A and B are shown apart, each in its own frame.
Chain A
């Protein structure tokens, strides 16, 4: 277990639509520590994706707070160490959070290599040569170095998702967010993507994964959150959640998926 430094503190997070008629998130409170592998499970429509997307502000919360690196990122402005009011730089924040999507979202008009070097070059301003070297190293790690010149359309789903993961890693994020990374894959390709994620977890990367892969949750996760109807109903170690579920809805959910 890594140190228990809190990386992301989520307090009473709310996302309401239509004046609160729809509550996608209804008061979620949790802590994500450095080195954590947090797995979020729950039935569809339970708000787990909304929760994940709120963490890097792809969804703007309507209430509550998210403290990341000591800054409440749900506010447009914050006071820095010297007491000055500073505008929150969302782009800078997002660099520190890699995100992997269900539908890969590779850029189809660029080669794999260009997909990987775009953000490091344009956002971090590192040179093309350095970015390419780094990208090729990362691609090598997931066994796709020889496909660097290919276009996304020429890759299988599993390969695309592996590229999407290393594309996010190229920005050297502090935390990786996975939004159902294996849900759009053919069954035989799920394994290769999960292997990359396991590898990452082993290296100590902080990860938050929304997934339906209960095997992965059990094996790799060190904390499991169960959400339903916008609420965080139960959280605990994989053993607690899977062997000794307390909440009746969690018991019901596990009975259906296991």
Chain B
């Protein structure tokens, strides 16, 4: 009986090693760009969610100048459109499959925009790579937003009270007191998100990004071997993700050593 895995099949895929190498490069590049875009987006979204922007605030003030406590007007006066938009974005992105999002971005949005057909580093197709980065970045931005928000909210309220009582404004408080502490706390969670993105980026092969999975597909089509290239892909993903998460765990331990609050 034929065994499940044939060693001879590995030699068949050996000529395609270059494809896997390029695929690995694309996967790492894709993940890095995604994290950067996702983080910037998440920071904006988190600030929107944490903002205290209430344009209808005046409706909640009674004629004596005090805040109304109940009623429709008090409820309307608390409406924060920035928070509403950011929350809607986060919830929609988190409640729909990333595959659907990628297709919508690729076929919907970039179907109307002509991207230059240039090749980065001689082999990365920009018109596939860029929509992939945008779609993944938008998706991870939603998740990172919640990480940043929880990080900011985990900082003791006394910090804000101390800063504000010294006369610092809301923005100064956020910039000098809250964000530096919050970002330090959530750095491991952000790095974890990076590992998740490395794995999730495999899905971009469906729009033709030449990552590791597309190398598998190319080999499958050319040689009709299926299991062995998949095993190679598995090994590459594992070699990318496992050391990264171990590295994160190491830094997490080192960082938590200093402050026991």
Residues of A within 8 A of B (CB): 16, 19-20, 56, 58, 60, 62-63, 74-77, 91-92, 94-95, 97-99, 101, 103, 105-109, 118-119, 122-124, 153, 164, 167-168, 171
Contact = CB atoms under 8 A, between A and B. Distances in A.
A75 B161 contact: no
B69 A16 contact: yes
A105 B167 contact: no
A171 B158 contact: no
Contacts, number: 83
Nearest to B162: A105
A95 B67 CA distance: 24
Contact of B166 (A76, A108, A153, A171): A171
Given A91-B167, A92-B167, A153-B261, A109 B181 contact: yes
B166 A167 contact: yes
Contacts of B259: 108, 153
B96 to A, nearest CB: 38
Interface string B34-69: 000000000000000000000000000100011101
Contact of A107 (B65, B162, B165, B184): B162
Q: Which 5 A-B pairs have CB atoms at the shortest separation, nearest pair first?
A: A95-B167, A105-B162, A119-B166, A99-B165, A105-B158
A58 B176 contact: no
Interface of B: 61, 65-67, 69-70, 156, 158-159, 161-169, 172, 176-177, 180-181, 184, 258-261
Contacts of A76: 61, 65
Contacts of B260: 153
Contacts of B184: 109
A108 B261 contact: yes
Residue with the highest number of chain A CB atoms closer than 10 Å, among B67, B159, B176, B184: B176
A75 B64 CA distance: 9
A97 B167 CA distance: 9
A153 B66 CA distance: 41
Given A75-B65, A107-B177, A97 B258 contact: no
Given A19-B69, A76-B61, A153-B261, A118 B161 contact: no
A22 to B, nearest CB: 11
B169 A105 contact: no
Given A74-B65, A101-B162, A105-B156, 5 more contacts: A94-B164, A95-B166, A103-B158, A106-B162, A119-B167
A123 B167 contact: yes
A107 B168 CA distance: 13
B159 A107 contact: yes
10 contacts: A62-B69, A74-B65, A74-B66, A92-B167, A107-B177, A109-B181, A118-B176, A124-B167, A164-B162, A171-B167
B169 A91 contact: yes
B158 to A, nearest CB: 4
B252 to A, nearest CB: 17
A60 B156 CA distance: 20
Contacts of A94: 164-167
Nearest to A93: B167
A17 to B, nearest CB: 9
B165 A97 contact: yes
Given A108-B259, A123-B172, A63 B165 contact: no
A62 B65 CA distance: 10
A253 B259 CA distance: 40
A16 B68 CA distance: 11
A62 B169 CA distance: 23
Contacts of B69: 16, 19-20, 62
B66 A63 contact: yes
A105 B70 CA distance: 33
A25 to B, nearest CB: 13
Contacts of A99: 161-162, 165
Contacts of A118: 166, 168, 176
Nearest to A96: B167
Given A76-B61, A108-B261, A153-B258, A58 B161 contact: yes
A146 B164 CA distance: 27
